[in-house]
Amino acid sequence: MIPKSGPWFSDKIMRETKGCAMRKVIVALLAAAFACPALAEEKPVELKKAPGLETVEGNCGACHSLDYIPMNSPFPNAALWDAEVGKMIKAFGAPIDDSDARTIAEYLKKNYGS
């Protein structure tokens, strides 16, 4: 019969707790080791070089990944890009002035419109 108290019992609990914690640390380190090379291979998106690109990168890229632009480009037509730019300003509070908003919308329509 195994005693449920006494020095042996507390030593056993300590060993089990340390072993469990050590396993968690090892698993976390292995996960990080496998994740780092995957992150290193990720390349930043390159948008089409055209007038307005700097305005798009500076304004749109300040809040979200620029990957969204080419990822969504098969779908939006000119009216939808205008609506998207308006939504970013009105609904999400993007601090984009009217001139930049027009530049962004024109860039998106000409380079990523359907």
Write down the pLDDT at residue 113.
85
CATH topology of domain 53-112: Cytochrome Bc1 Complex; Chain D, domain 2 (1.10.760)
Q: Is the pLDDT of residue 8 over 70?
A: no
Domain ranges, ordered by start, for the chain: 1-42, 53-112
Q: Are 105 and 85 in contact (CB under 8 A)?
A: yes
What would the mean pLDDT of 89-108 be, rounded to a whole number? 96
**What single letter denotes the amino acid at residue 101?**
A
What would the mean pLDDT of 39-67 be, rounded to a whole number? 87
